[in-house]
Amino acid sequence: MQSKKQLKQSHTPCLQRLDSDAMETLARQIEREMHGEWKHCAIYERDLERLWPLNEKDREAKIAQFATQYGFRLRFYSKGMCAIFDKWPPKDPRGADLISDVRGFGRG
C-alpha cells in the first residue's frame, strides 16, 4: 500500500497536466473574447477559483504570471470579483508606448 506522500507524488504530474489544460483553455477563451467589440476580457471569480483558490498565497502574482506567459496583461484585479486581461500596447522602435505617444504622453 502506498503512503500518502507516495500517492500525492504519483498524482502530481496528472494534476499539473490538468492545470496546464485548464490554463490553455482559459487563455483561448480570453483571446477569443478580445477579438470581439471589446479589446479586453473579464474573468469572474467563479472561473478564477478553478485555477487559483481564493485563499491561495500570492494569488494575484500567479494570475499576472499566467497573463504574461500567454501574452496578456493583467489590467485589473479585485479579489473576490474578477480579473481583467488585455494585450500590452505596441511599442515603437524607441521603446515608448505608441498609445502614449499618440495622446502626447511619454515624450521626453
Q: What is the DSSP string of 2-69?
A: --HHHHHHHHHHHHHHHHHHHHHHHHHHHHHHHTSSSSEEEEEHHHHTTTS-TT-TTHHHHHHHHHHH
Number of Cβ within a 10 Å radius of residue 80? 8
The answer to whether the pTM exceeds 0.75 is no
Q: What percent of the chain lies above the pLDDT cut of 90?
A: 55
Between 101 and 96, the higher pLDDT residue: 96
Q: What percent of the chain lies above the pLDDT cut of 70?
A: 68
Query: Domain-by-domain residue ranges, the chain?
Result: 4-103
Mean pLDDT (the chain) is 77
Confidence of residue 71 (pLDDT cuts 50, 70, 90): very high
